[in-house]
Structure 1
Amino acid sequence: MKKLLLFTAVALLGLTATNAQVKLGFGVGYAVPSGDVADFTDGGISAHFELGYGVTENIDVSFLYTGDFLVGADLDEAGVSGSIGNVAVGTYMVNGRYYFTESGFRPYGSLGLGLASIGAIEVDGSSAELAASTSNFAFRPALGFKYGVLNMNAAYLSAGKTGEASVNDISFNIGLLFTFGGK
């Protein structure tokens, strides 16, 4: 009986390995702050890295890391002037992607769920220091397309709150998404 179970497990593993599609992707983009963080930051840069697996031709599951850096702004409101530091958001997520077509131009929708680490960085002249840091639950829905290895998307990141300020952004990304193995 043990030999039959072992044979079945090896056969199933071999069957899935022949159609396995490992995904490797990375890219950069522009992040536009939204929510309360938009009151004291300007736009910034966004970068991402992902490593995943193609479950079927239309479904991918991946580990996704994104890093968004929002540049602080100068304030001059109601007679109060000063500058606000930068905000850095790093997220570690499990991301699911569904492709609406199977070949050529492939539009998709995706959803990432995970942990966001938010850090406020104060810049003063030539030195920088971490002013505040917090971790929250985060989600990241996105719409995009893949054509060959080119991957473009627009994503909304909700990284929770730091203090009383909500930290969200909308990013527009371009990158490469490679597929190894499979058909």
Structure 2
Amino acid sequence: MKKLVISFFVLFMGITSAFSQGDFRFGVNGGIPVGDVEDFSNFHLGTDVAYMFNVAEVLDVGPLLGYSHYFVEDDFDDIQFIPVAASGRFGLSSFYLGADLGYAIGVDDGNDGGFYYRPMLGYRIGKLGIAASYEGISMDGGSINSINLGIEFGL
């Protein structure tokens, strides 16, 4: 797993060096777990960094690397993931629609990870965006989901 994360990081840095016309975006979000996980988790916190390329006047796409943490109650270990995804943002004036699709690598013991998806709706004020999103990770035997509110900074 560590080799996969390191390989993605090297690939990510190589792509960003080769294409300097993009821009970095850093996001932080928090939310409420829903679905299968809401019975034993009470809060979700996530962060991500993306390097977005403007491919059309209203469309940005690029790779995304993040960290997602579900805080678990009682004597159980917290659930943690490293999402590796393709990210897209479609801008409509100040509003934008977005989606992240990829794989969430499980970090904690016994967590194999799963398919990662996060649709979002946001409002951009200059380089700052405020976004509502639904994060889902589909794994064998269930899913881990949350409804989130966050901010995204353009660097």
Give the TM-score taking structure 1 as reference length: 0.68
Whether the 8 Å CA contact 2:130–2:152 is kept in 1: the answer is yes
1:14-57 deviation line (CA, Å, top 9, x unaligned): xxxxxx85121102121321121111111032111110101122
Indicate the residue corresponding to 2:132 in structure 1: 154
The separation in 2 between residues aligned to 1:43 and 1:140, in whole angstroms, is 17
Indicate the residue corresponding to 1:87 in structure 2: 79
Instruction: Give the match's secondary structure for 1:133.
Output: coil
Runs of 4+ in 1 over 3 A off after TM superposition: none
Question: CA shift at 1:165, angstroms?
Answer: 3.3
The separation in 2 between residues aligned to 1:136 and 1:92, in whole angstroms, is 11
Q: Does 1:143 align with 2:135?
A: no
The separation in 2 between residues aligned to 1:63 and 1:32, in whole angstroms, is 25
Match of 1:107 among 82, 87, 95: 95
The separation in 1 between residues aligned to 2:152 and 2:62, in whole angstroms, is 16
Identity among equivalent positions (%) equals 26
1:41-90 deviation line (CA, Å, top 9, x unaligned): 1103211111010112210001112311111112xxxxxxxx22211122
1:73-128 deviation line (CA, Å, top 9, x unaligned): 12xxxxxxxx2221112211111111012xxxx11001121111234xxxxxxxxx
Indicate the residue corresponding to 2:24 in structure 1: 24
Amino acid at match of 2:148: S
Whether the 8 Å CA contact 2:87–2:100 is kept in 1: the answer is yes
Indicate the residue corresponding to 1:71 in structure 2: 71
The separation in 1 between residues aligned to 2:91 and 2:56, in whole angstroms, is 10
Report the aligned-residue RMSD.
1.7
> Which runs of no fewer than 5 residues in structure 1 stay unpaired?
1-19, 75-82, 120-129, 179-183
Whether the 8 Å CA contact 1:41–1:84 is kept in 2: the answer is no
Indicate the residue corresponding to 1:131 in structure 2: 109
Q: Provide the aligned length of Structure 1 versus Structure 2.
A: 136
The separation in 1 between residues aligned to 2:68 and 2:113, in whole angstroms, is 14
The separation in 2 between residues aligned to 1:70 and 1:32, in whole angstroms, is 9
Please identify which structure carries the higher strand content. Answer: 1
> Which runs of no fewer than 5 residues in structure 2 stay unpaired?
1-19
Give the TM-score taking structure 2 as reference length: 0.79
Whether the 8 Å CA contact 1:68–1:90 is kept in 2: the answer is yes
Choose 1 or 2 for highest CA Rg: 1
The separation in 1 between residues aligned to 2:129 and 2:151, in whole angstroms, is 6
Q: Does 1:56 align with 2:56?
A: yes
